[in-house]
C-alpha cells in the first residue's frame, strides 16, 4: 500500500497529484497565463508564480484525492530537466514537506515521467516499446526496456518539435503556446498547400532549426508580394507546417522501429496532443502492423500524475533520495 504526493514544477505548470496504490486519484494543474503577454515562458516570472501556487495546489490535491497529509507514504518531485528557478520551488517544497512529515523523497526525471504516463490508464504497452517523446524542450526516440531502463536512440540536434510549432506560431502572430493553435487552424487547411524543406539526416536524430528558417524566409517572401498573406492563408500555412513536422517525426519512428525490430510504438509529451501526429501515427501503424499507444490528452502536456506514477514504481523499488538532493536543469538519461 502506498499513497504518494507528487509535484511537477519544471516549466510553467504548477501541478500536484496523488497516486493511491498505482491509481491516480488527484491531478491538479495551475497554468500560468502571464507568459502569453511575452510570447514565451519568462523563467523569472514562472518561478514566482510557482511560489504563489504551490501551497494552494497541494491543498487542492489532498482534497481531490480525499487524503489527509498524515496518510502519505512518500513525496515525489521532478528533479529535472527544466528551468532551474521553477524546479527549485517544487524541489524545496518537496524537501520541506518530507522533512516535516518524516517521509521519504523520490526524485523523478521529467522525460521518464512523460513516458511512464502510459502506465496511468489502460491499455498499457509491454516492454520493450519505442516512445517518441516530443515536448517544448525535447524531441527523443527512446527504447523503453523497463520502468527504469530507457535508452535515447535519437534526439534533436537543435530545436525541439514543440519549439518548431511555437516559433512558427510566433511568426504567424499567434499567442504562446502556439502549438495547440496551429493544430486548431490546421484542421481547416490544406496540408499540401505549401512545401517546406525537411532535414536530410541519416541517423535517428532530428533537426528543426533549418526547417524553422525555411518557414521564416517563405513567409517573408510571400509577405513582400502580399502583405495580407498570413491572414488570408493561415489555415493552409498551419496545415502545411504541421504536415511537415509530423512527416519528419514519423519518418524517424519508422526507421527506429525497423532498426530495433520493435512493433509497440508510443508517443508522449506535449506535442503528442497534436491531432495531426495522432492521426498520422494511427495510419502508419495500420500500414506497418504496429500496436500504438497515445496518452489521454490530460497526460500529454505537463502534469504531476505522470510524476506520481513514476514515483509509484520507484517506491516499489525503495528508490529514495536524501535531503541533500538538488534540481538538475539538464539531466542525462
Contacting residues toward ligand KG4, per CB under 6 A: 11, 135-137, 162, 165-166, 177-180, 183, 269-271, 273-274, 301-302
Partner whose binding site includes residue 104, from Zn ion, ligand KG4, none (CB under 5 to 8 Å by kind)? none
Question: Which residues are near Zn ion by CB under 5 A?
Answer: 135, 302
Least distance (Å) between residue 238 CB and ligand KG4: 10
Contact criterion met (CB below 8 Å) for 300 and 270: yes
- Specify the DSSP class assigned to residue 9: -
Partner whose binding site includes residue 155, from ligand KG4, Zn ion, none (CB under 5 to 8 Å by kind)? none
Helices (H), the chain: 43-64, 84-101, 110-116, 161-171, 179-186, 209-225, 229-260, 275-288, 305-316
Beta carbons within 8 Å of 126's beta carbon, 6+ residues apart: 264
Residue closer to ligand KG4, measured from CB, 20 or 135: 135
SS3 317: coil
Residue closer to Zn ion, measured from CB, 140 or 242: 140
Least distance (Å) between residue 34 CB and ligand KG4: 16
Least distance (Å) between residue 273 CB and ligand KG4: 4
Residue closer to ligand KG4, measured from CB, 62 or 132: 132
Q: What angle do CA 74, 151, 144 make, to 5 degrees?
A: 65
Partner whose binding site includes residue 90, from Zn ion, ligand KG4, none (CB under 5 to 8 Å by kind)? none
From the list 315, 28, 278, 331, the residue with the least C-alpha distance to 132 is 278
From the list 151, 148, 106, the residue with the least C-alpha distance to 133 is 151
Q: Would you give the end-to-end CA distance of the chain in angstroms?
A: 29
Least distance (Å) between residue 178 CB and ligand KG4: 6
Least distance (Å) between residue 275 CB and ligand KG4: 7
- Taking each helix axis from N to C end, the angle separating 209-225 and 161-171, rounded to the nearest 10 degrees, works out to 20
Residue closer to Zn ion, measured from CB, 112 or 278: 112
Partner whose binding site includes residue 41, from Zn ion, ligand KG4, none (CB under 5 to 8 Å by kind)? none
Least distance (Å) between residue 79 CB and ligand KG4: 14
**Residue least distant from Zn ion (Cβ):** 135
Partner whose binding site includes residue 304, from Zn ion, ligand KG4, none (CB under 5 to 8 Å by kind)? none
Least distance (Å) between residue 13 CB and Zn ion: 9
Contact criterion met (CB below 8 Å) for 233 and 246: no
Residue closer to ligand KG4, measured from CB, 96 or 173: 173
Residue closer to Zn ion, measured from CB, 9 or 135: 135
**Residue least distant from ligand KG4 (Cβ):** 270
User: Measured between alpha carbons, how far is 131 from 125 in angstroms, rounded to an integer?
Assistant: 10
Question: Look-up: residue for cell 524537501?
Answer: 95
Partner whose binding site includes residue 105, from Zn ion, ligand KG4, none (CB under 5 to 8 Å by kind)? none
| Residue 35: HSE in the Cβ half-sphere, 13 Å Cα cutoff | 20
Amino acid at each position: 500500500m502506498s499513497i504518494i504526493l507528487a509535484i511537477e514544477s519544471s516549466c510553467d505548470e504548477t501541478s500536484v497529484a496523488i497516486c493511491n496504490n498505482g491509481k491516480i486519484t488527484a491531478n491538479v494543474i495551475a497554468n500560468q497565463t502571464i507568459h502569453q503577454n511575452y510570447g514565451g515562458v519568462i523563467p523569472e516570472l514562472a518561478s514566482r508564480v510557482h511560489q504563489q501556487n504551490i501551497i494552494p495546489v497541494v491543498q487542492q490535491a489532498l482534497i481531490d484525492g480525499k487524503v489527509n497529509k498524515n496518510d502519505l507514504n512518500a513525496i515525489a518531485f521532478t528533479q529535472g530537466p527544466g528551468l532551474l528557478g521553477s524546479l527549485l520551488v517544487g524541489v524545496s517544497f518537496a524537501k520541506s514537506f518530507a522533512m516535516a512529515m518524516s517521509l521519504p523523497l523520490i526524485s523523478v526525471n521529467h522525460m521518464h515521467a512523460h513516458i511512464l504516463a502510459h502506465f496511468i490508464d489502460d491499455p498499457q504497452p509491454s516492454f520493450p516499446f519505442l516512445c517518441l517523446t516530443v515536448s517544448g524542450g525535447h524531441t527523443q526516440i527512446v527504447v523503453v526496456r523497463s520502468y527504469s531502463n530507457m535508452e535515447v536512440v535519437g534526439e534533436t540536434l537543435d530545436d525541439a518539435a514543440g519549439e518548431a510549432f511555437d516559433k512558427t506560431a510566433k511568426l504567424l502572430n499567434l499567442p504562446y503556446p502556439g502549438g495547440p493553435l496551429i493544430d486548431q487552424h490546421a484542421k481547416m487547411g490544406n496540408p499540401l498547400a505549401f512545401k517546406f524543406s525537411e532535414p536530410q539526416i541519416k541517423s535517428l536524430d532530428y533537426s528543426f532549426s533549418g526547417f524553422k528558417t525555411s518557414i521564416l524566409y517563405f513567409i517573408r517572401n510571400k509577405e513582400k508580394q502580399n502583405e495580407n498573406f498570413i491572414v488570408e492563408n493561415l489555415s493552409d500555412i498551419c496545415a502545411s507546417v504541421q504536415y511537415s513536422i509530423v512527416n519528419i517525426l514519423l519518418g524517424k519512428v519508422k526507421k527506429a522501429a525497423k532498426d530495433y525490430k520493435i512493433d509497440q510504438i508510443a508517443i508522449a509529451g506535449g506535442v503528442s496532443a497534436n491531432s495531426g501526429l495522432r492521426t498520422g501515427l494511427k495510419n502508419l501503424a495500420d500500414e506497418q502492423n504496429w500496436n500504438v499507444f497515445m496518452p489521454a490528452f490530460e497526460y500529454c502536456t505537463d502534469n504531476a500524475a505522470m510524476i506520481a506514477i513514476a514515483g509509484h514504481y520507484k517506491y516499489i523499488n525503495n528508490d529514495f533520495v536524501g535531503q541533500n538532493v538538488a534540481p538538475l536543469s539538464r539531466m542525462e538519461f
